Chains A and B, each alone.
Chain A
Amino acid sequence: MAMPSNKIKNAKLVLLGDVGTGKSSLVLRFVKGQFIEFQESTIGAAFFSQTVSVNDESVKFEIWDTAGQERYHSLAPMYYRGAAAAIIVYDMTNPASFSRAKKWVQELQAQGNPNTIMALAGNKADMLEARKVTAEATKTYAQENGLFFMETSAKTALNVNDIFYEIAKRLLLQAQPAPNPSGMILMDRPADGTETRASSCCS
């Protein structure tokens, strides 16, 4: 942690999903470690930031928790534009929210940045007895669409940090720098130098 080479990468992350799926609760759990049973509906969007350390590197998430209400759907593109990662949240006790999540995935695939890392979070995993969306069906769907999938619970904190950590890991992996061509530059530079020297000599 205290290594001087510790880099901090900023990453815009957006949470999308139907109303009442627990986006704000997930963020609140991740950022403040809290859970509020009756979380008020988000209006517009809320902003948070939180840093995750992966080995000796850090990712500072700039998290946009968007409103799930249909009325604010038109604002969503502004938030997912340029996002490095998106978490699409559905409520595993509510099949409608899962179909809405699929629509979000579609929209992101169509409109968003192809490099955006997409995570699918099946929230409210603490309410197993009320489960309506099976993990198997979601897993298949996630695999087909290149998402990574986790069942989470903001209430019990199940997989909440894990999903953000996984995103951070993938972001850092993505950001692995391509082989540096600086060797070539080093080769070029002395050559240039000799040339200029030669020319100045002749003239």
Chain B
Amino acid sequence: MEASSRRSGDRTVLEPLMEINPAEIAGVSPATPLSVRSVALSSVSHPILVFIGTGGGKLLLLSLDPSSKSIELLRSVSVSNRPIDSIEILMEIDRILVLSDGFLFLIDRLLLQPVRKLGFIKDVTAATRRVGFGDSLNLDFSGDGLLKADVSSAGQRLLKKLGGGIRANGVKQPRVSESQRGKESNCLIAVAALKRLVLIELLVTASSDVDSDYGGVSVLLKEIQGVEGVKTMTWIGDSIIVGSLDGYILFSASTGKCTPIFSLPESSGPPKSRTLLKSKEVLLLVDNVGVVVNDVGQPVGGSLVFQYVPESIAEMSSYVIVARDGKMELYRRKTGTCIQSLNFAKSGSGPCVVANDEQQSGEVVLVATSHKVTFLCKVSAEEQIKGLLRKKNFKEAICLLEEMESEDEITEEMLSFIHAQLGFLLLFDLHFEDAVNHFLLSKSMQPSELFPFIMRDPNRWSHLVPRNRYWGLHPPPVPLEDVVDDGLIAIQRGMFLRKAGVDTSADEDFLSNLPSKAELLESGITNIIRYLHVSRNKDLSPPIREGVDTLLMFLYRALNHVDDMEQLASSENSCVVEELESLLGDSGHLRTLAFLYASKGMSSKALSIWHILARNYSTGLWKDNPISAERDLPDVSVDPITGQKAAAIEASKLLEESADQDLVLEHLGWIADIDQDLAVMILTSEKRVNQLPLEEVLNAIDPKKVEIQQRYLQWLIEDQDSDDIHFHTLYALSLAKSAIEAIESTSGSTNFKADNERNVSDVVSGSENSIREKLQVFLQASDLYDPEEVLDLIGRSELWLEKAILCKKMGQETLVLQILALKLEDCEAAEQYCAEIGRDDAYMQLLDMYLDPQNGKAPMLNAAVRLLHNHGESLDPLQVLEKLSPDMPLQLASNTILRMLRARVHHHHQGQIVHQISKAMSLDAQLARIEERSRYVQINDESICDSCHARLGTKLFAMYPDDSIVCYKCYRRLGESTSARGRNFKQDPVFKQGWLVTR
């Protein structure tokens, strides 16, 4: 703990209430001076009772009314003629214990009855009452006879003395029965006298008029011997802590065991101890150091270091008050910080004592020198903070607030209240960051309280702003700009005053380094944004939520935080569009506005903005955008192409979800101009519930944008499984058209070598193959288009394969074969087609074509030979021979005939092989059947029919292949094909291992 933190400036925790001269009040003549030696305070009843013990053995009772600051003497009694050393209020038994002249005296609280002297004990040096933990300590006073025990190494002896009968000093102790004990109240005190420690239980019975010696108080005793030179003493729980010149020792009240706590260094002052009631701890003084120990003598927390050796110590809530020589100081118990110093009398005005009623709230403190008594009153925490805030001592106020918070001395509500008040003060002092930090700490503050700082009154939310003025320490809210202006004027005034030598409360930092208005505004806005941002996560009412979001947008705009604006606008928000529409439009934050429209479901407005933006980007108008001209904009806006694309992407996002046909068709055009993919995505979006009307979409698609149309149709046919003939035909035609164009363009480019001269905007260049493939696949796969129409289109083109497919669809076999065999010379495909037709005459037709291609083409003899080789068996040799041209060279003809004949022989041989294999299998099957039928079955007496369960005996029976046996009758009934086990051999044949049938 650094020493610097031990001094915490001057706070006003205690403020003087009044001062009195006790002699004057007591009406004593100045000739016989009255000196104050001890004091005590009881605030149980109202007014407060003040006990003053004088040097002359007098006890004065005063009544103090702190609210009216009136004090009067109630009574005064003479206790002895020696000084009164201490006054202890025994609340439990409603008595006052006074120590004077080595004797203890008991008096009732109002000093109405005569003073009773506890005559059985003399030479008393210290007395203390026990502070319990809410438990009752069983000291066992009812022992029998005198018990002596050596209980500690130090040789201390514990003596238990029984109560009852008459004790050595003539104390009369009436036996108290257990039934009586229930009605009585008791109080434990420890008394140090000469060489012993006496523990006394004072009992007050219900009938207080008993003729006991002590005004209705009976006494029970217990002694611990061998304790010497006791100067100070405290008792908490079971522990009596005794301070002598040697040091501090802890005694256990129940066992008498003693443990040294620590010894005092040489030439140190007398020991002094004080019970800290609040924490049930004891403060032990060594020099100017207060060591706090708990009820077992273990140290707790760091030492309290006082500025001087205190003469008197008192405890007030979480503070320790020390006094000496006309001065008093207040220390915070936990941190050891000195909170307040106070001079209440001239230095050298004699010994002083400080006291309060620590058993109660203890908020009235009495501090006295010999001839003067000063009353002080605790300032409530709120008042303390208010005072500090009024002085603009924010640091100290925050410090105090933290202290109170850590000690739980403040309610949650008050804490929130103070944080808010602090925040407003800091806000008007232009410390925006700190202000918002405090606002955020306040749980009760409403975000609407900041609205007047953002938007000038009156506005949409004016009626929502709570009229909470807190302590009224700050001016009413005005727009932030005015706050900054006023603050700057105040700072300038402060500077001026400072130069003139006048002290001001203006901020040091600002005085030495005057911030600019722009800086301050930015800081203010940034921090309010921070606050509103956090507020968004709170549970707010809808109108306030609207205010928060709208004003947040306002502030983002003020700082031109485009990203934040767009983020807010595009996420879920409660912005009020009407408030922002013109604002954002005027300042050119069109993207934000579009997002905002979109998030509010105003798609058409959003879309028209995106359209405008896209157009502006493309025409370069974005350069004239007032915002981008002045300030930096994010990259999206700087690059026109990406900007345009971004607009299209955003628009397409909206359109993908929109089922509004007109809207979609309206905007499809410009989006398609920018990016066809996006347009297709819009049309084919699965996000909308109701699909757009197909015809109208198709009509709306720009006929030049073939790809879009094709992809839309493809989606309709492939993904949506449309089986509308019209769409299929349309798709086929469109693909065919593209394919034709592709062929033309490639042939064109190869012809003219003018590579990019032609604009191939609608046909992806180099995609001829892919388009044809697509077309072919579609023509093959779909049966729904009109082949004639397509054929019409491609009739004059070179798309031969496609033509073949179409002819195939139309069943024009000859045409197909002609195209395949003659035009494409694809023998394989032609043969394949013949196989598809499946008739022998198809092969013959093909052969005919090969041999006589017509149109002056030479016979395709190789193809013919190949055909004969592959399919010779299907051709009639006679027909083949007839087909052969008489001009055919013999070599080739013989080859052809040879192949054909060979093929036939080969075919014959193949047939023979198959025949023989089948015969072998048949034989195998027969063999297996015979084996199966010639099986032996053993039947005995117990064999029964599997069906009717009758004994077979000597009856005729049958066995099924699955080994089930039935009597003949059942066999006739079941038939051959179904066994007794229900197996139908026709449907579920049996195969057994060993049967040779393997196929």
A interface residues, Cβ below 8 angstroms from B: 36, 40, 43-47, 64, 71-75, 77-79, 81-82
Given A74-B262, A74-B263, A75-B262, check contact A43 B298 (CB 8 Å). no
10 further A-B pairs in the complex, CB-CB below 8 A; given A44-B303, A44-B305, A64-B299: A44-B289, A45-B291, A45-B299, A45-B302, A46-B302, A71-B265, A72-B286, A75-B262, A75-B286, A82-B298
Contact: A79 with B302, CB < 8 Å? no
Q: Which residue of A lies closest to B304 (CB)?
A: A44
Q: How distant is B462 from chain A, measured CB to nearest CB, in Å?
A: 48
CA gap between A190 and B320 in the complex, in Å: 59
Q: With an 8 A cutoff between CB atoms, is B1 at the interface?
A: yes
Q: Which of B252-300 contact A (CB under 8 A)?
A: 260-265, 286-291, 293, 297-299
Contacts of A46 in B (CB 8 A): 1, 302-303
Q: Which residue of A lies closest to B1 (CB)?
A: A46
Contact: A43 with B262, CB < 8 Å? no
Given A40-B3, A72-B265, check contact A78 B302 (CB 8 Å). no
Contacts of B290 in A (CB 8 A): 44
CA gap between A72 and B301 in the complex, in Å: 17
CA gap between A77 and B263 in the complex, in Å: 9
Q: Which residue of A lies closest to B261 (CB)?
A: A78
Contacts of A36 in B (CB 8 A): 2
Contacts of B263 in A (CB 8 A): 74
Contact: B305 with A43, CB < 8 Å? yes
CA gap between A36 and B411 in the complex, in Å: 37
Q: With an 8 A cutoff between CB atoms, is B859 at the interface?
A: no
CA gap between A73 and B289 in the complex, in Å: 14
CA gap between A73 and B268 in the complex, in Å: 13
Q: Which residue of A lies closest to B3 (CB)?
A: A40
Q: With an 8 A cutoff between CB atoms, is B215 at the interface?
A: no
Contacts of A47 in B (CB 8 A): 299, 301-302
Q: Name which of A47, A77, A79 has the most chain B CB atoms within 10 A of its CB.
A: A47
Q: Which residue of B lies closest to A69 (CB)?
A: B265
CA gap between A43 and B298 in the complex, in Å: 18
Q: How distant is A82 from chain B, measured CB to nearest CB, in Å?
A: 7
Given A40-B3, A43-B289, check contact A74 B302 (CB 8 Å). no
CA gap between A43 and B336 in the complex, in Å: 12
Contacts of A78 in B (CB 8 A): 261-262, 291, 293, 297-299
Contacts of B66 in A (CB 8 A): none
CA gap between A106 and B260 in the complex, in Å: 20
Chosen A-B contacts, 22 in total, with CB atoms closer than 8 Å, are A40-B2, A43-B288, A44-B289, A44-B290, A44-B304, A45-B302, A45-B303, A46-B1, A47-B299, A47-B302, A64-B299, A72-B265, A72-B286, A72-B289, A74-B264, A75-B286, A77-B262, A78-B261, A78-B262, A78-B291, A78-B298, A79-B299
Q: With an 8 A cutoff between CB atoms, is B216 at the interface?
A: no
Q: With an 8 A cutoff between CB atoms, is B487 at the interface?
A: no
Q: How distant is B140 from chain A, measured CB to nearest CB, in Å?
A: 29
Q: How distant is A199 from chain B, measured CB to nearest CB, in Å?
A: 37
Q: Which of B1-55 contact A (CB under 8 A)?
A: 1-3
Q: How distant is B308 from chain A, measured CB to nearest CB, in Å?
A: 13
Contact: B2 with A75, CB < 8 Å? no
CA gap between A179 and B263 in the complex, in Å: 42
Contacts of A72 in B (CB 8 A): 265, 286, 289
Contacts of A44 in B (CB 8 A): 286, 289-291, 302-305
Contacts of B261 in A (CB 8 A): 78
Contacts of B260 in A (CB 8 A): 77
CA gap between A46 and B6 in the complex, in Å: 12
Q: How distant is B659 from chain A, measured CB to nearest CB, in Å?
A: 49
CA gap between A168 and B263 in the complex, in Å: 31
Q: With an 8 A cutoff between CB atoms, is B247 at the interface?
A: yes
CA gap between A82 and B297 in the complex, in Å: 11
Contacts of A75 in B (CB 8 A): 262, 286, 291
Contacts of A64 in B (CB 8 A): 299
CA gap between A79 and B297 in the complex, in Å: 10
Q: Which residue of B lies closest to A74 (CB)?
A: B263
Nearest 3 CB-CB pairings of A with B: A44-B303, A44-B289, A47-B302
CA gap between A107 and B14 in the complex, in Å: 46
Q: How distant is A16 from chain B, measured CB to nearest CB, in Å?
A: 14
Q: Which residue of A lies closest to B306 (CB)?
A: A43
Q: How distant is B969 from chain A, measured CB to nearest CB, in Å?
A: 69
Q: How distant is A194 from chain B, measured CB to nearest CB, in Å?
A: 41
Contacts of B247 in A (CB 8 A): 74
Contacts of B297 in A (CB 8 A): 78
Contacts of B3 in A (CB 8 A): 40
Q: Name which of B247, B262, B301 has the most chain A CB atoms within 10 A of its CB.
A: B262
Contact: B303 with A43, CB < 8 Å? yes
Q: How distant is A15 from chain B, measured CB to nearest CB, in Å?
A: 13
Q: How distant is A93 from chain B, measured CB to nearest CB, in Å?
A: 24
Contacts of B288 in A (CB 8 A): 43
CA gap between A79 and B301 in the complex, in Å: 11
Q: Per-residue 0/1 for B185-219: is the Cβ within 8 Å of any A Cβ (1 yes, 0 no)?
A: 00000000000000000000000000000000000
Contacts of B305 in A (CB 8 A): 43-44
CA gap between A74 and B299 in the complex, in Å: 14
Q: How distant is B303 from chain A, measured CB to nearest CB, in Å?
A: 3
CA gap between A73 and B291 in the complex, in Å: 14
CA gap between A47 and B289 in the complex, in Å: 14
CA gap between A40 and B1 in the complex, in Å: 9
Q: Which residue of A lies closest to B266 (CB)?
A: A71
Q: Which of B43-84 contact A (CB under 8 A)?
A: none
Contacts of A40 in B (CB 8 A): 2-3
Given A43-B303, A44-B305, check contact A74 B291 (CB 8 Å). no
Q: How distant is A177 from chain B, measured CB to nearest CB, in Å?
A: 25
Q: How distant is A36 from chain B, measured CB to nearest CB, in Å?
A: 7
CA gap between A12 and B167 in the complex, in Å: 47
CA gap between A82 and B293 in the complex, in Å: 14
Contacts of B262 in A (CB 8 A): 74-75, 77-78
CA gap between A93 and B297 in the complex, in Å: 37
Q: Name which of A36, A46, A78 has the most chain B CB atoms within 10 A of its CB.
A: A78
CA gap between A64 and B260 in the complex, in Å: 19
Contacts of B302 in A (CB 8 A): 44-47
Q: Which residue of A lies closest to B303 (CB)?
A: A44
Q: Which residue of A lies closest to B289 (CB)?
A: A44
Q: How distant is A195 from chain B, measured CB to nearest CB, in Å?
A: 37
CA gap between A79 and B261 in the complex, in Å: 10
Q: Which residue of B lies closest to A32 (CB)?
A: B2
CA gap between A54 and B39 in the complex, in Å: 55
Contacts of B299 in A (CB 8 A): 45, 47, 64, 78-79
Q: How distant is B153 from chain A, measured CB to nearest CB, in Å?
A: 13
Q: Which of B379-429 contact A (CB under 8 A)?
A: none
Q: Which residue of B lies closest to A72 (CB)?
A: B265
CA gap between A44 and B264 in the complex, in Å: 12
Taking a contact as CB atoms closer than 8 A, the residue among A74, A77, A79, A81 that contacts B265 in the complex is A74
CA gap between A78 and B289 in the complex, in Å: 15
CA gap between A78 and B297 in the complex, in Å: 8
Q: Which residue of B lies closest to A28 (CB)?
A: B2
Q: How distant is B540 from chain A, measured CB to nearest CB, in Å?
A: 33
Contacts of B301 in A (CB 8 A): 47
Contacts of B265 in A (CB 8 A): 71-74
Q: How distant is B264 from chain A, measured CB to nearest CB, in Å?
A: 7
Contacts of B264 in A (CB 8 A): 74
CA gap between A74 and B1 in the complex, in Å: 21
CA gap between A82 and B262 in the complex, in Å: 14
Q: Which of B564-617 contact A (CB under 8 A)?
A: none
CA gap between A95 and B263 in the complex, in Å: 28
CA gap between A47 and B291 in the complex, in Å: 11
Q: Name which of B2, B288, B290, B293 has the most chain A CB atoms within 10 A of its CB.
A: B2
Q: How distant is A75 from chain B, measured CB to nearest CB, in Å?
A: 5
